[in-house]
Amino acid sequence: MNFEEAKKRAEELRPLLQYYTKKYFDDEQVVSDYEYDMLMRELKQIEKDYPELITKDSPTQKVGASIKKGFEKVTHEVPLQSLQDVFSFEEVEEFDERMRKAAEEYNRPLEYVVETKIDGLSSALEYRDGKFFKGATRGDGIVGEDVTQNLATIKTIPKELKEPISITVRGEVFIGKEDFDKLNEDRLLEEQDQFANARNAAAGSLRQLDSKITASRPLNIYIFNVQKCEDIRFTTHYESLLYLEKLGFNVNPVKILCNNMEEVRQAIEKIGNLRDQLDFGIDGAVVKVNDLELREKVGTTYKTPRWAVAYKYPPEKKETLLKDITCQVGRTGAITPMAILEPVYVAGSKISKTTLHNEDYIKQLDLKIGDRVIIQKAGDVIPEVVGVNKSKRDGTEKIFEMPTVCPVCGAEAVREEGEAVLRCIGIECPAKLYRSIIHFASKDAMDIDGLGEAIIQELIDRKLLNNIADIYALTFEDIASLKKNGKKFAQNMMDAIEESKHRDLYRLINSLGIRHVGVKLAKTLTKYYKTMDKLMEASFEELRMIDDVGEITAQAIYEFFRQDQTIDLIDKLKTAGVNMETIKEENADNRFEGKTFVLTGGLEHYSREQASEIIEKFGGKTSSSVSKKTDYVLAGEDAGSKLRKAQELGITIISEEEFNNMCE
């Protein structure tokens, strides 16, 4: 590669690596570790061949990440450097050759300690007189983030050492394999985005501004270095690790003392072979000079110590059998196909199943049940099926079809236009029960005070809630049994449940969780249908003619009320005495009837929700966008584009004072 070619390539690589680095340290990995390492390696080689191409902002010249807004800065007394990566044993031998020359020059013994390179977030812990004083992330190596409160939630970090010593240590915060799998399974059931890998999950959890979130995550830590200790003078690194264990620290369990390069090679191979059996993720093996005086003599560069290298294992791909494809139903009804695999170890984890995302993904890969498939988990990314070995097909493979009904409850499964997800629309589906009841009892729905998430889960676990209507079958004794001395709580809950029976019809409609139907549309529907029976009888064509009801929404409403589960639930609610009609307000004032308001900017005396309620109370409606159909734009402070558009269209603009006068 000549100079011009190298310059052009370096200019391509720098912004790309800067983007990947930023995403990585923002706990969002968009490329595998291996791909990133190869690009960084390429840039380093270019800068080695042409030093004049090195720039101050080059990713090769920087360590770590920027400081997240909301955290105090902490300057590390001893920098938390990164390691030089190597990708072949020949490079490890080159490192050994440099160290042997240094050992001879300074007349020092040469031993190595080989450790697992834990895939997590590097942090420093400071102890004063044996008590945990402060903790910080690595940051850019010089300045990190003060995450003391978050680190204090990690159970494996001792709050007090077994000796009253002042010491600063460095460790890696991580989430173990089993804990990570469980965390993602829970998030899948909650239909939350899954973490891409354990490293991102750990880093994101530690860098939360709310320490309660950190405490809810299964974080662990392994200590691997003494950064500063004025009380004790260590001779070797291995000696310091043993002392850290004596103090009560959770020290990296894989630390192999090696007398020569052959033993180093064996240690690297051993760790590579043990990756599948380790209960934590690694992205390499670290080779460190053991003698601390030799380390001082060898020194460091700005970014990396010269006395250590990190051997990076290549990404793993494994072939296994796709035994079956099953479907999992999430709490909002999303039906996700799951690959059931012949168990195989990939990048340190035993993989027996993984998501296939959706129907389109299966078709894209041309997957069939019985195929030999390729699984990849590079850099501890979530395992996924990345290919099919079609040469091994023998004709016994079966084409998979997504179900037409929910595999849990048998209700219709619908894939709406423009969506990749298939959904169960059965309101009594057991898989959706928890989420359905939470929504039913919420403030904008039936507003059952006290019936929160934890209570709902407990009632479900005790088999006291098997469907929504069971709320109205709960007894005083059922509720009182949930809490110690729970009589007052039970009475308040019973009163709230009884009160909810008398809610207006729009609240009941909203509580049912019909796709695309919220409070606003529920209110609109009650203007056309004064009873639940009338709404249930409405045809698709009728629904389609209602303002604010599009074709997709009309279809969703129509299909919902023709489900056996919906009809069964409404019958049960009727029997329980739940109101099924619009509640007529006496002396109704419809001064805003037929008028559409758009709210923009900040109001002094109302929230937007409060202003919207007043408008709707007087028969008007609100819209989120300005159009020729808009009658008034209520403009508060810092009104923006909506105000400008109203001015362009000649829409009447009113102040909060004018709005007050209109409401008097």
* CATH 2.40.50.140 domain span(s) along the chain: 317-399
Q: What is the pLDDT of residues 485-529, one digit of tens each?
A: 889 999 999 999 999 999 999 999 999 999 889 888 999 999 899
Q: What is the pLDDT of residues 400-454, one digit of tens each?
A: 999 999 999 999 898 877 778 898 989 889 988 988 999 999 988 999 999 988 8
CA–CA dist 424, 566 (Å, integer): 12
HSE-up (13 A, CA, CB side) for residue 144: 25
DSSP letters for 487-517: HHHHHHHHHHHHHHTT--HHHHHHHTT-TT-
Tokens of 219: 């974080």
Q: What's the pLDDT band for 380 if we cut at 50, 70, 90?
A: very low
- 117 is known as an active-site residue: yes
Is residue 209 pLDDT above 80, yes or no? yes
* CATH 3.40.50.10190 domain span(s) along the chain: 596-663
Tokens of 440: 């039913």
Of the candidates 117, 177, 288, 642, the residue annotated as catalytic is: 117
Which residues, listed in sequence order, are joined to residue 632 by a DSSP beta bridge? 597, 652
* CATH 1.10.287.610 domain span(s) along the chain: 3-61
* CATH 1.10.150.20 domain span(s) along the chain: 424-576
Instruction: Give the model's pLDDT for residue 345.
Output: 75
Tokens of 407: 């595999």
Q: Say which residues have a Cβ less than 8 Å from residue 240's Cβ, sequence separation at least 6.
A: 225, 226, 234, 292
* Higher-confidence position of 31 and 263: 263
Fold designation for 73-311: D-amino Acid Aminotransferase; Chain A, domain 1 (3.30.470)
* CATH 3.30.470.30 domain span(s) along the chain: 73-311
Question: Average pLDDT over the chain, rounded to whole?
Answer: 89
Mean local confidence (pLDDT), 318-322 = 93
Amino acid at 528: Y
- Which architecture characterizes domain 424-576 according to CATH? Orthogonal Bundle (1.10)
Mean local confidence (pLDDT), 580-591 = 77
CATH of domain 317-399: 2.40.50.140
Fold designation for 3-61: Helix Hairpins (1.10.287)
Instruction: Give the model's pLDDT for residue 379.
Output: 47
Q: What is the pLDDT of residues 132-182, one digit of tens each?
A: 999 999 988 899 999 999 999 999 999 999 999 999 999 999 999 889 888
CATH of domain 596-663: 3.40.50.10190
